[in-house]
């Protein structure tokens, strides 16, 4: 385990992405409520309320392994910080662009929403694709990337929403899913640079952000309002807490190399149960709410993630049973491509008026759920196909 890849990290990342594709595609007017998101003021959770924090958690778990790997290749601390900042900015940019696709005013912008979105995704793949021949054909690859940057600039300047907010220009809003991941990754990456492999210091960082989340939920962080327009995700604490909690578990797994799996699985199971219990305890003061990003919701989701990872770890890394996960592992290994590819198809299908989503119109529950399951699986297979064709995003 010390030198090999932790297979369960890729598997759980792939599982959360598969579930994300599934719940994002569901027609919740027909599907049962427990599969979707709870409303902001409702004290409760559906499957969709765990999927995103589950991904944040596993993204945090990968941080110690990824940065340690870069250090082993000779990267300095300054170079690692530069890499963290580059990935963060990239995720923020893509997240904000995705967030604004629904705000395009076709008449003012001069192109339809679907076309603007498709051109934006084309530019994203041109800029951030992991080109196979980048070393052999550096000028060609640079040309593609410059073309992508140019296209993004044109799209940004052409963008008009026709809304008063930000005078009709792009808004950061809640930064979009990728933007939230970016802020969480920034907090976790810099925490690891500062704390390195210290469990105590990393746990203190997680506790700090949990404390911020509690104070924010109580309305006691008004003094941070001046920085909230830019750093709101950080100072509100919830997303960084979940990601750094995942990083803490990743450190525990990393440090357990050579000590056998039984002590590790025992410790992880205890940690998961305690975290769950803490979340339900805080429920006395804070409802379970993804939309409100309450500390009780963050703790419960983290506890679930720890226990889910423990089961996958024992199954895959201890007993070597991985074939059951083969069909969605490509999603975990190419997570950004997996997340973006369905959006591209959505816009192509909507623009062409193709009757692909007929299952969404059905009132027959098995058709609705079965259609979204098939869609999610096809998107994972599409990711694997794109990878074979040399199309795979890497930040």
Given this model, what pLDDT does residue 41 score? Answer: 87
Q: Tell me how many domains the chain contains.
A: 1
In a domain, 159, yes or no: yes
Given this model, what pLDDT does residue 329 score? Answer: 82
Asked if 273 and 191 touch (Cβ cutoff 8 Å), the reply is no
In a domain, 2, yes or no: no
CB count within 10 Å of CB 310 equals 21
In a domain, 96, yes or no: yes
In a domain, 393, yes or no: no
- Show pLDDT as tens, one digit a residue, over the chain (395 residues): 434 578 999 999 999 999 999 999 999 999 999 999 998 889 999 999 999 999 999 999 999 999 999 999 998 999 999 999 999 999 999 999 999 999 999 999 999 999 999 999 999 999 999 998 888 888 999 999 999 999 999 999 999 999 998 889 999 999 999 999 999 999 999 999 999 999 999 999 999 999 999 999 999 999 999 999 999 999 999 999 999 999 999 999 998 877 888 999 999 999 999 999 999 999 999 999 999 999 999 999 999 999 999 999 999 999 999 999 988 888 888 999 999 999 999 999 999 998 999 999 999 999 999 999 999 999 999 999 999 999 999 98
Asked if 383 and 337 touch (Cβ cutoff 8 Å), the reply is yes
In a domain, 1, yes or no: no
- 208: domain range? 7-388
In a domain, 394, yes or no: no
189 to each of 8, 87, 182, 247, how far by Cα in Å?
21, 10, 10, 9
In a domain, 272, yes or no: yes
Cβ neighbours of residue 115 under 8 Å, at least 6 residues apart? Answer: 351
In a domain, 109, yes or no: yes
pTM of the complete model? 0.94
Given this model, what pLDDT does residue 4 score? Answer: 56
d(CA 192, CA 83): 13
The 3-state DSSP class for residue 393 equals: strand
d(CA 18, CA 322): 16
Instruction: Find residue 129's DSSP bridge partners.
Output: 393
């Amino acid at each position: 385990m010390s030198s090999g890849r932790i297979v369960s990290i890729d598997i759980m990342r792939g599982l959360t992405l598969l579930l994300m594709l599934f719940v994002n595609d569901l027609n919740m007017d027909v599907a049962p409520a427990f599969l979707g998101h709870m409303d902001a003021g409702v004290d409760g959770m559906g499957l969709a309320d765990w999927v995103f924090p589950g991904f944040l958690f596993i993204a945090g778990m990968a941080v110690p392994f990824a940065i340690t790997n870069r250090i082993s290749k000779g990267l300095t601390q300054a170079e690692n910080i530069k890499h963290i900042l580059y990935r963060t900015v990239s995720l923020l940019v893509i997240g904000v662009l995705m967030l604004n696709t629904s705000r395009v005013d076709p008449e003012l912008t001069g192109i339809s929403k679907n076309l603007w979105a498709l051109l934006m995704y084309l530019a994203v793949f041109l800029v951030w694709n992991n080109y196979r021949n980048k070393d052999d054909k550096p000028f060609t690859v640079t040309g593609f990337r410059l073309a992508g940057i140019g296209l993004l600039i044109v799209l940004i300047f052409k963008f008009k929403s026709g809304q008063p907010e930000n005078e009709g220009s792009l808004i950061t809003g809640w930064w979009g899913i990728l933007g939230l991941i970016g802020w969480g990754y920034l907090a976790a990456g810099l925490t690891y640079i500062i704390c390195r492999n210290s469990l105590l210091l990393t746990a203190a960082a997680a506790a700090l952000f949990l404390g911020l989340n509690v104070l924010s939920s109580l309305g006691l962080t008004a003094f941070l309002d001046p920085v909230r327009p830019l750093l709101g995700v950080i100072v509100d604490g919830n997303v960084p807490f979940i990601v750094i909690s995942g990083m803490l578990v990743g450190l525990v797994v990393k440090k357990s190399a050579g000590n056998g799996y039984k002590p590790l699985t025992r410790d992880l199971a205890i940690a998961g149960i305690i975290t769950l219990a803490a979340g339900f305890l805080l429920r006395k003061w804070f409802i379970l709410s993804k939309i409100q990003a309450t500390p009780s919701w963050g703790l419960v989701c983290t506890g679930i993630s720890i226990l889910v990872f423990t089961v996958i770890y024992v199954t895959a890394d201890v007993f070597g049973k991985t074939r059951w996960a083969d069909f969605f592992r490509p999603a975990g290994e190419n997570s950004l491509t997996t997340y973006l590819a369905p959006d591209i198809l959505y816009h192509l299908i909507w623009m062409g008026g193709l009757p692909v989503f007929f299952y969404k119109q059905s009132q027959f529950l098995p058709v609705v759920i079965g259609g979204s399951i098939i869609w999610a699986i096809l998107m994972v297979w599409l990711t694997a196909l794109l990878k074979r064709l040399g199309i795979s995003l890497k930040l």
